[in-house]
Amino acid sequence: MGRFSSRTTSVRMQGLNGNGMTIGPGPGDFTFGQTNKENTEKLRVMDRAQYDCHIEGEDLEQEWSITVGQRNQSLTSTTVARVTDFIEQDGIFHPTTGTTPTQTVNPNPEIWAWTTIVSMVLGSTTATWTLPNCLGGYTFAEAVEGNTIALSGVNNGKITRT
């Protein structure tokens, strides 16, 4: 039996029109927060101080994060994909002037949101998580073994599995 690992996993972030980028290289530390069958919180209902049942509350929002190794390249470009350009919807990803412009997946066109697809492939087995509506930002860290850009944010909407 084999196991999926960071060597067999790719993370892709893309806009509504499918334009985006595969994120990496990095340490293989993509994570997302808790979800459940309905992607809702469960509220306990009491009747005269005794448990009666649970009902569904608000939709859950999952936090997500990934660390990317910083390559020896500019942080922005009008011709080549850059992770900071994707997050800021700028450079090649600018919605009106980019060479591969992105469109938000958010119903509100003013808010930049994207889909994140985590694909794991090992031999003949493929498994995929799709986070449908991600918002996020980035931070920077310097290190002797290589600088990193940490991406993090939230997802709204049910995470699908295939």
Per-residue model confidence as pLDDT tens digits over 130-162: 999 999 999 999 999 999 999 999 999 999 999
Query: By C-alpha distance, which of 36, 43, 82 is closest to 62?
Result: 36
Query: By C-alpha distance, which of 150, 156, 109 is closest to 133?
Result: 156
What does the pLDDT look like over 97-117, one tens digit per residue? 999 999 999 999 999 999 999
Q: How far apart are CA 109 and CA 130, in angstroms?
A: 21
What does the pLDDT look like over 28-63, one tens digit per residue? 899 999 999 999 999 999 999 999 999 999 999 999
Cis peptide before 132 (omega within 30 of 0): no
Torsion of CA 31, 36, 41, 44, to 10 degrees: -130
pTM of the model: 0.92
Q: How many residues does the chain have?
A: 162
Query: By C-alpha distance, which of 30, 6, 116, 24 is closest to 69?
Result: 24
Extended beta strands in 25-143, E state: 31-32, 40-47, 50-59, 61-69, 114-122, 125-141
